[in-house]
Amino acid sequence: MFAIETQKLTKRFGSFTAVNQIDLKVQEGELFGLLGPNGAGKTTTLSMLATMLSVSKGKAFVNGLDVSQEPDAVRKSIGIVFQDPSLDFDLTAKENLEFHAKLYGLPASLRSKRILEVLKLVELEDRAKDLVKTFSGGMKRRLEIARGLLHHPTVLFLDEPTLGLDPQTRRRLWKHIQKLNKKENIAMILTTHYMEEADFLCDRIAIIDGGNIIALDSPTNLKKQLKGETILVQSNNNTQLAQLKLSGIFTVKALKDAVQFSVKDSNHLLPQLFQSASKQNIQIESVSIHQPSLEDVFVHLTGHSIREEVASAGEQVKAKMKYQGYVRR
């Protein structure tokens, strides 16, 4: 049995399709990522799996349970860390967990023991009696993860778990998530638009854009799609630059503000590039060379890059849903 399985899972808001017929199979204990820009459909997918949004078409199963037919049973078997803060800052860490434990019906005889266990898991046992409003951003996220694990779920959903954290805190939280995944042996499904985060954490990644899954594999295999090295070149005429006849190139892709060359050997290509560009009166403004990354894979597949700021497509989605009376996280 899969921890998560979807069959042509679709979500429409009026005439707008936010998630388009996606098929997923996530193994028990797997750390699985949904990677894409804001507005791509990541949170909408997670919300359907967590029974917070109804399914428009298709099927979704969590631990073998149909999310449409057995929502209560699904909720009992999952934990979730929301994108937005959801702790009571005027309560202590322990009080937040006690409230959650009561909501999930944990017996009083087991409650204190389990609260101590999850606080130790996220290394917050020494702050159990401190008010949450005194916690740093990273500590709050760790407490939210502890709360999500409190009732022994078999699947934990993490919606943009490191959003808004500084890079150092983000990396520390990655290590906590990785450790918890192995120690608790539960499936974790996270959404992110951070390439490095997906690469570091995930066993497999589904790249999602415009509500469609455009690639699904391990980070290593995804990067192997782009052979050799990747060179990004900016010039005063990128259209003409992309049409130069050069040897040793696997692929050429004209982007909005640069040209991406996938090459066998940059040392062989660059002299050709500068010489040919000079003959065509193309002024090369910048050149960057690197090994293929998930960012390169995404650009290669979609023709655009992921940006941290909210994409215009995401704003259009929100506007449509607001107009039509829908609520979406």
Q: Where in the chain is the domain with CATH 3.30.70?
A: 227-291
Q: For the chain, which ranges sit under pLDDT 70?
A: 307-329
User: What pLDDT score does 96 carry?
Assistant: 96
All CATH 3.40.50.300 domain ranges in the chain, comma separated: 4-222
Distance CA 158, CA 124 (A): 19
pLDDT at 307: 58
What's the half-sphere exposure (Cβ side, CA atoms, 13 Å) at 77?
A: 21
Q: What would the pLDDT profile of 53-88 be if each residue is shown by its tens digit?
A: 999 999 999 999 999 999 999 999 999 999 888 999
Rounded CA separation 194/133 (Å): 27
- Contact present, 291 and 229 (Cβ < 8 Å): yes
Burial class (CB in 10 A: 0-12, 13-18, 19+), 156: buried
- Cα separation, 223 vs 294, whole angstroms: 6
**If you search the block for the tokens 């040209």, which residue do you land on?**
259
Instruction: Please give the backbone phi and psi of residue 134, each rounded to the nearest 5 degrees, phi first.
Output: -90, 0
Does this model's pTM top 0.85? My answer is no
- In this predicted structure, what is the pLDDT of residue 316? 43
Q: Which amino acid is at 168?
A: Q
- Dihedral Cα 5, 147, 219, 4, nearest 10 deg: 0
pLDDT of residue 300: 81
Biggest alpha carbon distance in the chain? 80
CATH of 4-222, one of 3.30.565.10, 3.40.50.300, 3.40.47.10, 3.60.21.10: 3.40.50.300
pLDDT value, residue 147: 94
Give, in words, the CATH class of 227-291: alpha beta
